[in-house]
Amino acid sequence: MRAAVTDCRELAVRFGLPPGWLAEAEPAAARFGLRLPPALLEAAAGGGADDPVLRQYLPRGEELRAVAGFSADPLRESGFRRAPALLQKYPGRALLVVSGACPVHCRYCFRRHFPYAQHVGDLRPALQAIAADSTIEEVILSGGDPLMLDDDRLGRLLDALEAIPSVLRLRLHTRMPLAVPERLNRALLARLGRSRLRPLTVIHCNHPREVTAAAAAALERLHQAGLQGLNQAVLLRGVNDAADTLCELSRRLFQHRILPYYLHLLDPVAGAAHFEVPEAEAQALVAEMQARLPGYLVPRLVREIPGRASKTPIAPGYSGKK
């Protein structure tokens, strides 16, 4: 993690990015820092400013432009705070913000302006709230990235959750297998693998090239530890807005035992408007996937609308192809 590139100049030199980029990028990075760890630098190697992998992490001048409909808290998450570090939007499951940090900074992140300082800290009140509410059967470890916690802290958190009888399932939402594959070490996976909560790992991969050899090995270790894996992706302009790319992503991840879960429409967070793909185009892309792939390799296209009892499914339509 310490080897991540956080300096725009260094990135410009490595990737031969033009001086015009650097002049625009630095003010954007002052708001939300550049952070790109070695595994993803490798995935983007040889690419320019428009490379689909690099584009996800590359600060740009257009982030500073105000765009109607794009705001700092598009999902109105602060309204769903049950206790410090505990968000609950949906019945039966609650999300623990266990870390404010991530191994990589994705420019389209819906939590890029999230006030982590108000949420992350002592987890005891959140654990008490979970224990006091028997309707919460599933806990989702999120952040930031929950695997930013070290093995000891994660182990203690698992102990605490396993001690609550009404908690039946645990989920980890993490980008770590792609960003810092080494983080999925055997001790951590063994601890997760023996949990009665049957941890489910939801990774976040948007482009097939992000599955480097090291990431593939990490996913194999995950599988060997008996942990199920799903993927959630975000549909992003210039990254994965082509049926070929999306189909290849599903195929590639299946080779590493990961099934597709959600394909999210972009949350309208300030600074990310350049990634937007209109809903009709998204529906056509997923219809195309449906026409080419077995059903289990087609993710569910969803949008998050604050206040609804679940993510909102968007019907893919029918491609009409024979």
Binding flags for ligand SF4, 164-183, as an x/- string (CB under 6 A): -----------x--------
Shortest distance (Å) from residue 52 CB to ligand SF4: 16
Burial 221-235 (b: 16+ CB within 10 A, else e): bbbebebebbbbbbb
- Residues 187-206 touching ligand SF4, rule: CB under 6 A, are 204
Q: Is 93 in the site for ligand PLP (CB under 6 A)?
A: yes
**CB under 5 to 8 A by kind: which of ligand PLP, ligand SF4, none does 102 bind?**
ligand SF4
Distance of CA 103 to the CA centre of its chain: 11
- Residue 205, both tokens: 């991969």
Stretch that binds ligand SF4, among 78-86, 105-113, 289-297, 307-315 (CB under 6 A): 105-113
Nearer to ligand PLP, 41 or 140 (CB): 140
Q: Is 320 exposed, middle or buried (0-12, 13-18, 19+ CB in 10 A)?
A: exposed
In the bound complex, what is the minimum distance in angstroms from residue 177's beta carbon to ligand PLP? Answer: 18
Rounded to a whole number of angstroms, the distance between the first and last alpha carbons of the chain is 48
Task: Mark residues 248-267: x for contact with ligand PLP by CB under 6 A, - for none.
Answer: --------------------
Nearest-approach distance from CB 104 to ligand SF4, in angstroms: 6
Using CB under 6 A, which of 89, 183, 207, 256 touches ligand PLP? 89
Quote the DSSP letter at residue 275. G
Give the alpha-carbon dihedral of 288, 175, 106, 98, to 10 degrees.
130
CB of 168 to ligand PLP, least distance (A): 14
Least distance in Å: CB of 173 to ligand PLP? 8
Q: CA 318, 268, 144: angle at the middle one, nearest 5?
A: 105
* Cβ closest to ligand SF4, residue 106 vs residue 167: 106
Q: Phi-psi region for residue 317, left (φ > 0), alpha (ψ -120 to 50) or beta? A: left
**CA distances from residue 128 to 73, 122, 137, 160, 193 in whole angstroms, order as listed:** 27, 11, 14, 10, 25
Instruction: Tell which residue, 167, 115, 163, has the closest CA to residue 141.
Output: 167
Taking CB under 6 A as the binding criterion, the range among 17-25, 54-62, 86-94, 204-212 that sits at the site for ligand PLP is 86-94
Taking the least distance from each CB to ligand SF4, the nearer of 139 and 234 is 234
